[in-house]
Amino acid sequence: MEKVIPIKVSKDMKVKDLVDAMAKTGFGARKIGLAAKIAEEMFSDKECKVFLGVAGAMVPGGMKQLIIDLINKKYINVLVTTGANLTHDLAESLGHNHYHCDTWNDEKFNKEGYDRIYNVLMKNDVYGDLENFFSLNWDLFKDITKIKDLLSKIGELLPDNSNSILKACYKNNVPIYCPSLADSGIGLMIWGRLAAGKTIKVGAFEDMNDIIDFSWVSKRKGVIYIGGGVPKNFIQQSLQFSTAANYGIQITTDSPAGGGSSGAPLVEGKSWGKLEHDAEYVDVLCDATIALPLIFSRFL
Amino acid sequence: MEKVIPIKVSKDMKVKDLVDAMAKTGFGARKIGLAAKIAEEMFSDKECKVFLGVAGAMVPGGMKQLIIDLINKKYINVLVTTGANLTHDLAESLGHNHYHCDTWNDEKFNKEGYDRIYNVLMKNDVYGDLENFFSLNWDLFKDITKIKDLLSKIGELLPDNSNSILKACYKNNVPIYCPSLADSGIGLMIWGRLAAGKTIKVGAFEDMNDIIDFSWVSKRKGVIYIGGGVPKNFIQQSLQFSTAANYGIQITTDSPAGGGSSGAPLVEGKSWGKLEHDAEYVDVLCDATIALPLIFSRFL
Amino acid sequence: MEKVIPIKVSKDMKVKDLVDAMAKTGFGARKIGLAAKIAEEMFSDKECKVFLGVAGAMVPGGMKQLIIDLINKKYINVLVTTGANLTHDLAESLGHNHYHCDTWNDEKFNKEGYDRIYNVLMKNDVYGDLENFFSLNWDLFKDITKIKDLLSKIGELLPDNSNSILKACYKNNVPIYCPSLADSGIGLMIWGRLAAGKTIKVGAFEDMNDIIDFSWVSKRKGVIYIGGGVPKNFIQQSLQFSTAANYGIQITTDSPAGGGSSGAPLVEGKSWGKLEHDAEYVDVLCDATIALPLIFSRFL
Amino acid sequence: MEKVIPIKVSKDMKVKDLVDAMAKTGFGARKIGLAAKIAEEMFSDKECKVFLGVAGAMVPGGMKQLIIDLINKKYINVLVTTGANLTHDLAESLGHNHYHCDTWNDEKFNKEGYDRIYNVLMKNDVYGDLENFFSLNWDLFKDITKIKDLLSKIGELLPDNSNSILKACYKNNVPIYCPSLADSGIGLMIWGRLAAGKTIKVGAFEDMNDIIDFSWVSKRKGVIYIGGGVPKNFIQQSLQFSTAANYGIQITTDSPAGGGSSGAPLVEGKSWGKLEHDAEYVDVLCDATIALPLIFSRFL
């Protein structure tokens, strides 16, 4: 049996060393440490393709750069995320920012034109610039049939120096799947065009084949789920209908007991054929904005 | 100031009376009681249209009948839910059941052909029957352009005595929106047809106009969010781009602190223009399988 | 395998029937139903002594009457609770009330003399009356050596018609253990006397023998833990140093993953010898103010 | 308004720099960063006395060394903790260890003599050595009247090189308050002596005066609450009956909505007079084993 080693921290300690030390403690810190180890195995396995699922407002939460850096360093093969994250990413690419708010008055924010996301604010006028973007570029979108191609086209259109998830995926040829894109600001901008009489050919089911095919041909697979939601489930079902994952890291604050997919521990996936019986995996019950920098700093 | 009245329960007490008594206690019980009161106001307001968003595996969790009964009693005008819930609903309509499991061994379940959803099991062979359903009826789906019309057609096809959410919505002319239908067993069945060379015309953004239009023309609105996720967000954004809600009930176990939409308290919606400044609303932090029967039994 | 039966609720449904129906659903509702069944077994087992541990502010939360009624009906043999609960119970016995507050401004409450407990308020002037009570009755306390005897004496002193946990325990000869009584308003009142030069003989460890002895001589045992904390742990360690429990119900919203006793699932107790290997038990992840009336109404 | 700055991590990044960068992000990471800033203010304020409340099994969780180092560096003036933490600390001082367990079988652990605390194990035979310790040293304890003096005596008795919270507090003259010491392994060992006919003079209320007095004479105060429980409440009530805190950091995973003290946000303390209206404070919703090293590494 392995002993718990009390963690010894110091002012000049590196994050990597802290996380290695956490692996020797208990409770959640142990799990942060195990997640970093599993990420090391996942990323150093040459046969392994990595599926990253990102729910939750990770861009307003300040996690954009970390995701971009993982993509630029070629650690990620498939990204599945929410329309909200991509909308925030696009808004920042168009020059907008998010802002801190440690206390709040939502009626006042409404009057002043700010939208609140817990302790972060976005200016409501981002929608004007988003609308311009889609209005100006509509002709380039109108014949696209897949959501991932639409997102790739948006990435292509952004300035080359754009510090954006959409741009990083475009440059690195990482497909972005977003089955619920209609459920987002980007979706709303497209609705605006449709309401103005334009048409679009993007199908609701056209992307499924690509992700399931890619899962089929990937010999070994690693999954990283942040926050659960549609991104997790869309990867999980692609594994279910191809072959199971060999590595898994889940970061969520949801409880398993409610029965929802977001809180379901990875081990449940074994019953569905989504996780190999001999897989390496860990469930980290932690705010992703805290866990992500700890687990992934060593790779960046 | 109103006094807290210690709750007095008894063996013959009715649920309705319990919930009325809960409204006079503190903490979560108080909120269950307030939710029932707000539901009464929402349902008795003749001008008010009710948007119900259902995330989480409410069908395996045994909440199907309650949702059906609310629809049959005309309390619900719009349903937004996940593909998973509709897949489970369809599977039960095709003769399948869900099963209890109070302890678990996921590797054994996998070998025996059971898929686990926390303390509930589904037989993996439901997928065979789902596939048959879509294979047999494909010609009826192939020219449909909207997800809600596809779901309505499925409802139409189910036997008249089918005890199903899909059927109840069809019969009562309640539209079902499901922006992430691709992310579900139903989506997988459609993928199966596409992979076999069939085509489908359902667009990714075609439903948005209908729900936003309906929100625009509804003078007053009530929202009921179970579990958050895409269903909540899709309703919220439709309100944001039309007019805000007058009544709100949210049932979730997610914490606000993670920054995700599922745990975001309703009041946050005021900043976005999703909730009227003078709205009646309550956030219930409770497992929905416990909260739903308490709050809604009085209407059924 | 047992099928999940969708719950059918109706306006005249009794709580008992709802809970029986919940036992046939999934997720948390299933657990509420199982808890009621285990309570039935526990309460109908003639050899079984019941240890109730109550943490959390259950008196401000409106659960006082339910606890009193369980005691008066002889379902409870030992009560372990926090000093806070007993302080609130005593304050109500002295004529004070708790009040609703659904929104809050803590600085304003402070200026107006209200102390907030989530969505409940207490007037700060309760402390004056508590002080009088201890000042007037001090001579009756000064030679007591055990916390449980001190609490029994307080119960004895309350008016006969006092609707109080302290009184109910006194009348029914149910010992109240409260190892952290110093950590409460009652403790503060005693400190006030000591600071004024009085003395008291109550020992910090004197109660342990009684509860461990009682546990030793009880052939079979049931435990009900509300909220965890010291009350749960004090019962658990008494079992550990005598014999394990045969029945267990735990109601908490704490996550197991943090490693604390409050969130630790009952099964963990098997390793410690606190729970029999063949025990009937269930962990209910729910706000106790919602779960308690559901589980226990059938007995009252 | 301050912009959210996406966090940029790198393999050689120091923990301190990570935490400073977290302060510029959103959600939980923002709060970790704010907590470190508040700790800097608290620790550099010469007039400020620091009260540390530690609930939860922080010793098995591997946080012992960090707490010892904070004490040795003179950052802590008063420690309030649970008997469980001190028991684990004493067990390690007597040569025992804790062990990892990432999967579990509690019946097997029971047979093999291991007690489980989530993902950590303790050998059940620690109790034998604890018993010997108290048996051998009983004469030194028998005339002590205060819990804090008993704990100080235990610290004194441990070998000088003992890497222990008890020893560090003894050496640095930091009082340890533990109002529920009876509720712990140390309590059980004392019960064992009492059951064997020994006597002890430690009073249940004798420590209160010292902590309240110290709070009275401290011009400015900072509180750090880990996990809530009795340690938090005992400090809070001491502030309530003297003067309020000027700085506050709370680390817990408990939800406020249940009404318990452990999850109550610090701001609630303003209504009670436990927190100054102009205090600097932050509530960190995070597993303490993850949050503590992040927040405090810069001081060690």
CATH of the domain at B22: 3.40.910.10
Assess if residue A3 is contained within a domain: no
ipTM for the whole predicted complex goes beyond 0.95: yes
Assess if residue D5 is contained within a domain: no
CA distance C187 to C204: 12
Tell me, yes or no, if C153 comes closer than 8 A to chain D by beta carbon.
no
Which 3 state secondary structure label does DSSP give B26? coil
- Kindly list the partner chains of chain B, i.e. chains with 3 or more CB atom pairs below 8 Å: A, C, D
Percent of chain C at pLDDT > 70 equals 100
Query: Is A260 close to B187, i.e. CB distance below 8 A?
Result: no
Q: How many domains does chain A have?
A: 1
Tell me, yes or no, if C217 comes closer than 8 A to chain B by beta carbon.
no
- Taking residues D146-166, report their average pLDDT: 97
Confidence band for C59, pLDDT divided at 50, 70 and 90:
very high
- Structure confidence by residue, pLDDT tens digits, D168-183: 999 999 999 999 999 9
Tell me, yes or no, if C29 comes closer than 8 A to chain B by beta carbon.
yes
Q: How far is D75 from chain B (nearest CA, A)?
A: 29
pLDDT at residue B258 in the model? 83
**Which chain B residues have a beta carbon less than 8 Å from that of A203?**
200-204
Sheet holding C176-177, edge to edge: C176-177, C78-81, C48-54, C220-226, C245-252, C275-285
What parts of chain B have a pLDDT lower than 70?
none
Query: Is A26 close to D293, i.e. CB distance below 8 A?
Result: no
pLDDT at residue B259 in the model? 87
pLDDT at residue A255 in the model? 86
Query: Is D28 close to B285, i.e. CB distance below 8 A?
Result: no
- Taking residues D213-217, report their average pLDDT: 97
- Residues of A with a known catalytic role: 274
Contact B276, A110 (CB under 8 A): no
Rounded to whole angstroms, what are the CA distances from A28 to C112, D32, D242, D287? 41, 15, 36, 6
pLDDT score of D259 more than 90: no
pLDDT score of D215 more than 90: yes
Assess if residue B271 is contained within a domain: yes
Q: Which of B2, B3, B5, B8 is the best mutation test for C, with the most CBs of C within 10 A?
A: B8
pLDDT score of C255 more than 90: no
Percent of chain D at pLDDT > 90 equals 97
Query: Is C25 close to B289, i.e. CB distance below 8 A?
Result: yes
Query: Is C259 close to A26, i.e. CB distance below 8 A?
Result: yes
pLDDT at residue B133 in the model? 98
Query: Is B28 close to D258, i.e. CB distance below 8 A?
Result: yes
Chain A CA closest to residue D32: A290
Assess if residue B183 is contained within a domain: yes
Tell me, yes or no, if C64 comes closer than 8 A to chain B by beta carbon.
yes
User: What separation, in Å, do the N-terminal and C-terminal C-alpha atoms of chain D show?
Assistant: 33
The tokens describing D158, both together, are 């441990």
CB atoms closer than 10 angstroms to residue B59: 30
Helical (H) or strand (E) element with C75: none
Q: How many residues does chain C have?
A: 300
Phi, psi dihedral angles at D97 (to 5 degrees): -130, 165
Tell me, yes or no, if A278 comes closer than 8 A to chain B by beta carbon.
no
Tell me, yes or no, if D95 comes closer than 8 A to chain B by beta carbon.
no
- Residues of B with a known catalytic role: 274
Assess if residue B1 is contained within a domain: no
CB atoms closer than 10 angstroms to residue B102: 10
- Structure confidence by residue, pLDDT tens digits, D41-53: 999 999 999 999 9
Q: Which of B22, B255, B283 is the best mutation test for D, with the most CBs of D within 10 A?
A: B255
DSSP string covering B159-210: -TT---HHHHHHHHT--EE-TTTTSSHHHHHHHHHHHTT-----BSSTTHHH
Assess if residue A141 is contained within a domain: yes
pLDDT score of C237 more than 90: yes
| A180, A204, A277 ranked by CB distance to B203: nearest | A204
Q: How far is D119 from chain A (nearest CA, A)?
A: 6
What parts of chain A have a pLDDT lower than 50?
none
Assess if residue D8 is contained within a domain: no
Residue C256, Cα to own-chain centre: how many angstroms?
A: 20
**Which chain C residues have a beta carbon less than 8 Å from that of B121?**
1
* pTM: predicted TM-score of the whole model, two decimal places: 0.98
- Structure confidence by residue, pLDDT tens digits, C161-187: 999 999 999 999 999 999 999 999 999
Q: Which of C250, C255, C262, C284 is the best mutation test for A, with the most CBs of A within 10 A?
A: C255
Domain ranges, residue D108: 15-299
**Which chain D residues have a beta carbon less than 8 Å from that of B27?**
257-259
- Kindly list the partner chains of chain C, i.e. chains with 3 or more CB atom pairs below 8 Å: A, B, D
Contact B122, B61 (CB under 8 A): no
Query: Is B255 close to D285, i.e. CB distance below 8 A?
Result: yes
Query: Is B60 close to C22, i.e. CB distance below 8 A?
Result: no
- Structure confidence by residue, pLDDT tens digits, C211-235: 999 999 999 999 999 999 999 999 9
Tell me, yes or no, if A244 comes closer than 8 A to chain B by beta carbon.
no
Q: How far is C213 from chain B (nearest CA, A)?
A: 33
DSSP code at position B75: -
Tell me, yes or no, if D293 comes closer than 8 A to chain A by beta carbon.
yes
Tell me, yes or no, if D285 comes closer than 8 A to chain B by beta carbon.
yes
Query: Is D57 close to C261, i.e. CB distance below 8 A?
Result: yes
- Kindly list the partner chains of chain D, i.e. chains with 3 or more CB atom pairs below 8 Å: A, B, C
pLDDT at residue C258 in the model? 83
Give the C window 31-50 contacts with A, CB below 8 Å. Answer: 31
Query: Is B241 close to A205, i.e. CB distance below 8 A?
Result: no
Assess if residue C6 is contained within a domain: no
Q: How far is D300 from chain C (nearest CA, A)?
A: 24
Query: Is B27 close to D259, i.e. CB distance below 8 A?
Result: yes
> If DSSP states are collapsed to H, E and C, what string results for chain A?
CCECCCCCCCCCCEHHHHHHHHCCCCHHHHHHHHHHHHHHHHHHCCCEEEEEEECCCCCCCCCHHHHHHHHHCCCCCEEEECHHHHHHHHHHHCCCCEEECCCCCHHHHHHHCEEEECCEEEECCHHHHHHHHHHHHHHHHCCCCCHHHHHHHHHHHCCCCCCCHHHHHHHHCCCEECCCCCCCHHHHHHHHHHHCCCCCCCECCCCHHHHHHHHHHCCEEEEEEECCHHHHHHHHHHHHCCCCEEEEEEEECCCHHHCCCCCCCCCHHHHHCCEEEEEEEEEEECCHHHHHHHHHHHHC
CA distance C80 to C211: 10
